[in-house]
Amino acid sequence: MTTPHLLQRPLREQAADLRNGTLSATKLAEAANEAHRIRGAHDNAYLTWQGEAALAFAQATDAVIARGGDSGPLMGIPVSVKDLYAVPGLPTYAGSSQRLPAEWEQPGRLMSVLLAQLPSLMGKTHTVEFAFGGLGTNAHWGAPRNPWDTQAHRVPGGSSSGAGVSLVNGTASLALGTDTAGSVRIPASMTGVTALKTTASRWPGKQIVPLSSTLDTPGILAHRIDDLAYAFEALDPQLSPRPARIPARPALADLTFGVPEHFFWDDCSPGIAEAVQQAMRQLEAAGARLVTFELPNTDKAFELFQQGGVAASELAAFLNTELPHMIETLDPNVAARIHAADGIPAWEYVHRRTTLDKLYSAAAECMGQVDAVLTPTVAITPPTLESLQPEGAYGSANMRALRNTVMANFMGLCGLTLPVGRDAANMPVGLQVIAGPWQDARLLAIGQAIEARLGTGLDILGQPPSL
């Protein structure tokens, strides 16, 4: 079993030790700063690093703890935040080449709830420009480096491209991202950590730079499902219109998992399907019931996604009304899809929204037949930057990376991912677990049961060779 870096220890342990005096927020922040000193320039996880400010804040937090103060479960925990969230005192670029107006430095509800608990905010992590991409590339700032390959520069997954890397390299214990078509689950899968995509509208998106007002959902990344559960319970009661506590971890023998036969498994890179299937066999051996189950209308949903869905039109609307001066400087991979939205008539946009409503309803109705659906999280191994250079290569890889995760977004479901092994290229493989709308708390309990059987990412993968 791998000995974890200080920030890779379970969040519950970090929180308990902060309160019993065997650990300090200062020590955690110092460890994050040291990790950034060693790995920061190489990994390129952060657009804005504020290590010294975080250290000073951690020292003040320790003084509060010494006086018996307790501001919440995330007090003193080092956190990274995707550069879409408005954070006081920190610039917001949203992955673009220009700093956004000052209004995008005024926190929304989610950030206010987080900051009120006095975490150590280490910095803002890189994102694909305006979150519009699943691989993690950025023409303005470069792509963070996936730490699992020491030879080639492989993508870390996107659009929350720096989030997973910040966890793996020891500069954060918890990372905030967003998910419109897979943007917390893809980088988590590609970097060997866990992530939760919340049900749309469960957590407020105000003051998070939007990609799609319809599909955007805040999400969290961490080393373990239990860390996600801990953070969820710290945030959800103050954010959700239907707040929920995590129920007791169910026995695997009491769970029925739906496993699709096709679509999610088609055209997987070597070793991905095999790793996920091996994990499912372990769950079945522990008593879980696996049944053939197809999410309705996956082909229709994917066709809609290939046509651009609603994200391109909604981002185009935001940019044209709020930031028109930035359109000319967009990353070519983003600009092409924005300009394509100009030709979509109003009736077509309304039709697409209506189609999404129908997909939501059909999926919600059938999800009651199983406790959760299991699939590979991402069908492809993280590509190298070099392999994306030929014409058409980026678009093809991006579509394949997003294919499996987008289904939860287009069907109004919640989902998580956890690492279960490595593929033939020795890169992490994720298992996606999908549950019905508003079943986020139960999904985390199911994830805890799966993790208890399979082990955590540190158990399965160890540390990346580059660390």
List the catalytic residues: 82, 159, 183
CB atoms within 10 A of CB 416: 32
3-state secondary structure of 99: coil
Cβ neighbourhood burial of 95 (10 Å; 0-12, 13-18, 19+): buried
CA distance 177 to 149: 23
Distance between CA atoms of 179 and 406, rounded to whole angstroms? 9
C-alpha closest to that of 356 among 367, 364, 368, 345: 364
Q: At 400, phi and psi to the nearest 5?
A: -70, -35
Q: Which letter does DSSP use for residue 130 in this model? A: G
Among the residues of 323-392, which ranges form H helices? 332-341, 346-366
| Alpha-carbon gap, residue 402 to 197, rounded angstroms | 14
Helix runs in 80-220, H state only = 109-116, 163-168, 185-191
Name 87's Cβ contacts closer than 8 Å, sequence gap at least 6.
Answer: 81, 105, 107, 111, 115, 121, 124
> DSSP letters along 239-262, please?
H-SS--PPPPPPPGGG-EEEE-SS
Are 359 and 409 spatial neighbours (Cβ–Cβ below 8 Å)? no
**DSSP collapsed to 3 states, 265-276:** CCCCCCCHHHHH
Structure tokens at 50: 């504020």
Evaluated on CA atoms 282, 288, 292, 298, the torsion sign reads negative
**The pair of three-digit structure tokens given for residue 88, joined into one six-digit string:** 């006081």
Q: At what angle do helices 225-239 and 109-116 cross, to 10 degrees?
A: 110
Distance CA 282, CA 302 (A): 30
